[in-house]
Amino acid sequence: MVNTAQALEIQRHLLTSLQQNGFGRIVEDVITQVIEFEGQLDFDQNPTGTLIDFLDLVMQVISNYSNSDYKEILGKLNESISDENKVRSIVVRTGDGDNDVVDLSELPNYTEVIQEFRNVRNIIVSER
């Protein structure tokens, strides 16, 4: 069982590690979502459960920046499309300018990073 101080220390360590390893944008999004969940992530009331919820949130945010599901999504889109009309890439417009587009195939694949967070989560769950 994790106490409040340990849960907060783990949270700080994970956010610091992400920041130091080039995941600053992900840290910003995690912090924004934590603020939006104000009152729901209460380390004092339920430190272990809150830490698990926090890890789930981090994994979700990281997966939003990953192309780990790209091939699967592309495959599902193409299941009912004839060969000559197959979708070859997915590009998302992020703004009004010509350069404000993101080709989802070019996003990094963070499957291994997500798995590391899942491993930490599983350890915490097993020690509950």
Give the chain's largest Cα–Cα span. 58
pLDDT, averaged across the chain = 88
Model confidence over 60-114: pLDDT tens digits?
A: 999 988 988 888 888 898 888 888 888 888 888 887 777 788 888 888 999 999 9
| pLDDT attached to residue 39 | 64
Q: Is the pLDDT of residue 46 over 80?
A: yes
| pLDDT attached to residue 37 | 75
pTM of the model: 0.79
Q: Is the pLDDT of residue 121 over 80?
A: yes
Q: Write the CB contacts of 13 (distance below 8 Å, at least 6 apart in sequence).
A: none
CB neighbour burial string for 1-40, b if at least 16 within 10 angstroms, e if fewer: ebebeebbebbeebbeebeeeebeebbebbeeebeeeeee
